[in-house]
Amino acid sequence: MTGRMTRPVLAACLTVLVLLALVPLLESNYLIDLFNEIMIYALFALSLNVIIGYSGNVSFGHAAYFAIGGYTMAILLTTYEWSLLPAFVAAVAFSFACSAVVAYFCTRLTDIYFAMLTLAFSMLVWGVAFKWRSMTGGDDGFVGVDVPAFIAERVPFYYFSLVVIASAVAVLWVICHSAFGRALLAVRENPVRAGFVGINTRLMRWWAFVVAGTFAGIAGALFAMVHRGMYTESAFWPESATVLIMTLLGGMYSFFGPAIGAASLFLLERLTNEYTEYWPLVLGTILLAILMFLPEGLAGLAQAVRRQILRGR
């Protein structure tokens, strides 16, 4: 988490971007959908890591803001027939507003109490999505989202999604490596000391939560469009757990770690499902392995290997 984007990292980012842009050339609907989904979850996991890796708190309810972004987008585009840009802006703004309110309460607490409160609020959001049938479709889900014609086809939508997500990740990178990001790390590392150098730790944690919620809202809005629908599962707690696992698997002490985690988990799931129906068993084993052997995730493993090689020279 140094301040500069080093040349190898920049090169890797551009390579990934080019490869993602080339995916539609494979002319496989399966792959286009898969990579679209991976990109959305990568952004979702990166956003969660602002809370986990940068502010040092664990959220068990991050799916709430993903769902809020998604439902708002779906409802505005379809029920109220808004056009794309206003609907998108409103969806993101509403995620911002909701996370701002929830963060006000959650950041009064720390540790497990913080985590449990995030979970409680996410259950509240799930409850609204489940019960407010006339607006959200309830447990049938909100089906048939009107996606604007120019991105209605699979390939144009893929590129739209790629541009939005790449821009969002770039902005998130800047925020995480800004003066704010640096001060946030100090809050994670040692809140008492951070207070004694003049940092308002609660305000910093509030902002971290709001940034995370807002970017999760962006991911959710894209999710509603790619699936042409929004379902209560997206607000339910296992969804929060999934994105948490992605973050831990990829590595919370690295900016790009959670994106790597999202991609790995998706690919593993698809691969596993080809051979066996016991994906939850595999997932449990993976989680066990991370916690026991890779506390810093795949990104941490890569860094350790790199250090070993440098030391060997």
Rounded CA separation 68/305 (Å): 40
Q: Which is nearer to another protein, 186 or 241 (CB)?
A: 186
The helix/strand/coil state of 151 is: helix
Cross-strand pairs, 230 = 142
Judged by CB under 8 A, how many residues of this single chain contact another protein? 31
Give me the least distance between CB of 2 and another protein, in Å please.
Answer: 7
Cβ atoms < 10 Å from Cβ of 275:
8
Examine residue 177 and tell whether it contacts another protein (CB under 8 A).
yes
Per CB under 8 A, the segment of 77-85, 204-212, 238-246, 286-294 that binds another protein is 204-212
Examine residue 311 and tell whether it contacts another protein (CB under 8 A).
no
Please identify which residue in 22, 179, 292, 310 interacts with another protein, judged by CB under 8 A.
179
Q: Which is nearer to another protein, 196 or 275 (CB)?
A: 196
Per CB under 8 A, the segment of 19-27, 60-68, 157-165, 180-188 that binds another protein is 180-188
Rounded CA separation 135/131 (Å): 9
Examine residue 201 and tell whether it contacts another protein (CB under 8 A).
yes
Please identify which residue in 66, 121, 253, 255 interacts with another protein, judged by CB under 8 A.
253
Examine residue 204 and tell whether it contacts another protein (CB under 8 A).
yes
Give me the least distance between CB of 300 and another protein, in Å please.
Answer: 12
The amino acid at residue 68 is I
Q: Which is nearer to another protein, 234 or 247 (CB)?
A: 247
Q: Residues 189, 258: contact at Cβ < 8 Å?
A: no
Examine residue 193 and tell whether it contacts another protein (CB under 8 A).
yes
Residue carrying the six token digits 């999710």 = 223
Examine residue 181 and tell whether it contacts another protein (CB under 8 A).
yes
Alpha-carbon Rg of the chain, whole angstroms?
A: 19
Please identify which residue in 29, 83, 167, 200 interacts with another protein, judged by CB under 8 A.
200
The amino acid at residue 101 is V
Please identify which residue in 4, 7, 311, 313 interacts with another protein, judged by CB under 8 A.
4
Cβ atoms < 10 Å from Cβ of 132:
12
Examine residue 198 and tell whether it contacts another protein (CB under 8 A).
yes
Q: Residue 306: which region, alpha, beta or left (left: phi > 0; alpha: psi -120 to 50)?
A: alpha
Per CB under 8 A, the segment of 109-117, 194-202, 217-225, 271-279 that binds another protein is 194-202
Give me the least distance between CB of 293 and another protein, in Å please.
Answer: 20
Distances (CA, A) of 194 to 72, 185, 189, 191, 197: 37, 9, 8, 5, 5
Q: Which is nearer to another protein, 87 or 184 (CB)?
A: 184
Rounded CA separation 231/151 (Å): 22
**Residue 238 class from Cβ within 10 Å (0-12 exposed, 13-18 middle, 19+ buried)?**
exposed
The site for another protein (CB under 8 A) is made up of 2-4, 174-175, 177-183, 185-186, 189-190, 192-201, 203-204, 207, 211, 253
